[in-house]
Every structure is written in structure tokens, then in C-alpha cells.
Amino acid sequence: MARYIFITGGVVSSLGKGLASAALGAALQARGYKVRLRKLDPYLNVDPGTMSPYQHGECYVTDDGAETDLDLGHYERFTGRSANKQDNITTGRIYQEIIAKERRGDYLGGTVQVIPHVTDAIKNFVLDGNEGYDFVLCEIGGTVGDIEGLPFFEAIRQLGNELPRGQAVYIHLTLLPYIASAGEMKTKPTQHSVKELRSIGIQPDILMVRCDRQIPENERRKLSQFCNVRPEAVIPAYDAKSIYEVPLAYHKEGLDEQVLDAFDITGSPSADLSRWEKIVDGLHNPEGEVTIAIVGKYTVLKDAYKSLIEALVHGGLANSVKVNLKWLESEAFEGQDPASVLENVNGILVPGGFGERGAEGKIAAAKYARENNIPYFGICFGMQMAVVEAARNLAGLSAASSSEFGGEGEPVVGLMTEWAKGNAKEVREATGDLGGTMRLGAYDARLKEGSKIAEIYGTCDISERHRHRYEVNIAYREQLENAGMVFSGTSPDGVLPETVEIPSHPWFIGVQYHPELKSRPFEPHPLFSAFVGAARNNSRLV
């Protein structure tokens, strides 16, 4: 039977609960246990699909087409287990399902209430489908005391009583700030956070404290006494240079040992963290470095590109180089020559995005990369803008554009209204809802034999995750290929372009899907490995 670990947070948000959960999962895996990680988000959105990246960072997409919290990306990268739509739930989704049941009459005339109906729905989500797992780690979003989080805290409190004795452990992550003017660390924020948690009826078994320096023994003892946690169960969570150091750091501080002790598990295999040590060694001892320009529209918030950043790190590991990122707002390129900011980079990457804002800047970046033989990687919107650029400047279609920007010009990129998914047909309307209506999740693609991208993958049949509602128009294929841009990959039925490349260019590839979502530190995605390798070999700078 699975054991349950509930991870909560206090004092402030963004302390790293998701990373802590992923790192603990990795440490337990290193001892031979099978783990599953799940995220409970208290916000009222059904999922993050309609939320701006400025609001919630990256929207992570699973193979089965769920739009989820970015923490699920951490879970996948650290454990290697592919998440699915049953690993992330929100208040909005819970209420949506409960109200649908009430409208059908499933409650037989009963009054629908937060307790027991909402809390029961949360508990059912937590407990469902965990056969075969040793540990299920459940992260509760937000911080203790948030109004919207109360049903979730109540649900996990109830589970602590309803599960067999010794089957649930609570970990609370808080902040231990250093006050420079006083010259000391202050435990009061953590004390108050734990007091709030205990007032709900939850006593943490383990306390993780985020801090930027060693915790004096006196403060550690004070935390133990005031928070009713054993001294050895007060685990420092120090800042790290790389997120991939965190499993090693937590193991060193005894986190996984304390978890097993809280479950009264003895005789557990020792942790084999050698592969994490290898990753960290590769990060700290590169043989060189490259600079990649990321020309995007959400660059002021790096969490909007979380998986992309990590995939580039993985590509650097595969090539034994450090990847330096040069963040460039695409709007800054509009109406001016991008040479001044792009002439000293080894590669240019244009990521996904939505809407017309910054589009012309991305087109300018693609043009500069094409004309100057700089390795170019266009992802989703980045591929579409590369195609628009080629249509305008190579194929002579000066009015080439996307129907996303309005009805004028040549619709080289257009809105999808139907497409094949397996043996079924998916149909959408331009005036329909935005949430959950894109081409989402893993789709198969067929690569052209002999193409550069097929050589990179080592196969002509691939499956990658998508998140978009506009596609390159296959009707322009002949004109573009005659001009030098090859459609090197399509959907199996040949209708939807999946990849493009310019054979005469050292490395110019665009993909409609999001390969960054499937990259892992132990298994770097082949496209990111190849792109960083091409950047390393960029003859302009070596």
C-alpha cells in the first residue's frame, strides 16, 4: 500500500515546494522506491491553460494533453516518470465536476457543501490510481492560511486520520530570513506559519527551512521546541547554484532518512545518487561555453520558459559546455537592425508564444540567423515566424503573415479547425472557448528520410507534445521548398507541417511542437543536444 507525503508551504510563496518535492522524490528513487508526485492547486482556474505566463509561469503539457502547473515539469525531470492529467488538480476543476454532478441530480437532493463534498473530491483525487507505488508525494500550492487553500488543508488533515496509522507524513517548508541590521536569523515567521498549520489540525513531522546560510544550533533548537518537531527533523534547505544539486543537498541534510524514520521504515537500501553526482560534476566542470540568444516576449519572467531553460542546460551537459543565456525582448527588434545584439551569440532560439505582439521582432531574428549562418532553433511560434520570414524574403510572398494577426495578407500560418488524433477527428471553432481547445499533448510525426532532423533523431517516426491552435499552411509547401525551406516532417497523414529546415544552412530547424517538455538531465532531448553542439561549432566564434 502506498504511503503519502504531504508537502505544504508557509510564510511566502515561491520558496520552492515543487523543487523540494521533486528532489525528495529523486532521493527516494535513489533508494529503490517507486514514487508518484501530484500537485493540488487552490486557484479557481480549471487549469493554467488560459493564464498569462506573467501570472503563473510556464504552462506544462503532458502526453495525454493536460495543461498543468510548471512544477510537473520538475517532477518529470527529476524522476523520469511521465506525468498525466491525474497528477494535477485545481479548485476550479473540482468545483466544475461537483456542480456537474449536482445538476445531474447525483446528490439526490442533498445540500452540496465544502465539507464533505469538496474535501471528499480532493481525497478521492489524492488516493486514486496509486497502486504499485511506494510513496505518493502531494504538494499543496500556495501557503498555509490562504483562504482558497483551506479545503485542501482540511482534506489532507482528514486523510491523516483515515489512512492506516503511519501511512501519512507532513512536511512544511518555510522561510528562515537573515536580518542584516540585527545580524541574526529570525525564526518567528516559521513559528507563526507552523502555528497556523497546527490551528488547522496538522502537525508537521518534518520542517524544511529555506535559508541562505548555516543555521546556528540555537535557532535550530528554537525551531524544534516551538514547532514541536524533533531537532534532527529540522532540515536546512540552502540556496543552490543549480537545481540539480538539490537532491544531493537534501540527502546530505538527512531529508530522505527523516522521511523513512517518520514512516518507521527500517533497513532501507542506501541511496545511490551517483548519477546526480555526475550531473553536478558536468555542470561545474564544463570544457567550454556557448551563448544562446532567446528572443521571446515573456523574457522578464524566466519561469515562463522554465522547461526551455532546463532543456538548454541538458544540451550543454550533452556537449560538456556551459550554456549562457542572453534574454532579448522581441519587441526591441522591431524597426531596427538586430545585428548589434545578435552578432556575438553562438545560436538563436525563438520560443513559443501567442499573439501579434513581438512577432516582427521574432521574424527579424530568424532573418538575421538565416542570412548570417547562425544556428537557429524555432519552437512552435518560433517555427511559424521563421516560415513567414522565408515566405517574405525567399519565396517572394511579401504579404506573408499569420491569420492570428488578422485577416490581411497571405495566410502562410492559419487557424486549425480540425485535425486527426489517432483514428478520431478533433473539431474546433474560431469562436469557441479558449481553455483546453488547442492541439494538446503527444502526437506522432513522420520525418523525411535523409533530412537533418531525421538524422538528429536517428529515426523517421517520432512523438512529441504540442500546444498550439495555429499551423503552417501546407498549401504553401511547394513555393517554400522551391525557395529553399524544406518541410522535413509532417503529421502521419501529411496534412500538418511539423518541422522545417533549410538544408543549405549550417543548422536552421523549426518545429511545431515543444521538445523541451521531454528533455531530462539524464536524457537530453536530441534536438537540444544537436542545437547546442551546432552553437559550440559555430565557426564565427571558435
- Active-site annotation, residues: 380, 514, 516
Nine-digit cell string for 408: 490581411
Q: Tell the burial category of 500 from Cβ atoms under 10 Å away from its Cβ (0-12, 13-18, 19+).
A: buried
How far, in whole angstroms, is CA 66 from its chain's centroid?
A: 12
Do 172 and 207 contact (CB within 8 A), yes or no? Answer: yes
For 370-428, list the strands marked E by DSSP. 376-379, 400-402, 410-415, 418-421, 424-427
Task: Output b/e per residue, 274-302; b: 16+ Cβ within 10 A.
Answer: eebeebbebbeeeeeebbbbbbbbbbeee
Q: Tell the burial category of 196 from Cβ atoms under 10 Å away from its Cβ (0-12, 13-18, 19+).
A: middle
Q: Tell the burial category of 361 from Cβ atoms under 10 Å away from its Cβ (0-12, 13-18, 19+).
A: buried
Closest by Cα among 336, 339, 308, 338 to 323: 308
The one-character DSSP state at 300 is: T
Do 82 and 442 contact (CB within 8 A), yes or no? Answer: no
Closest by Cα among 352, 350, 398 to 509: 350
Nine-digit cell string for 431: 469562436
Closest by Cα among 230, 216, 229, 152 to 185: 216
Bridge partners (DSSP) of residue 415 are 470
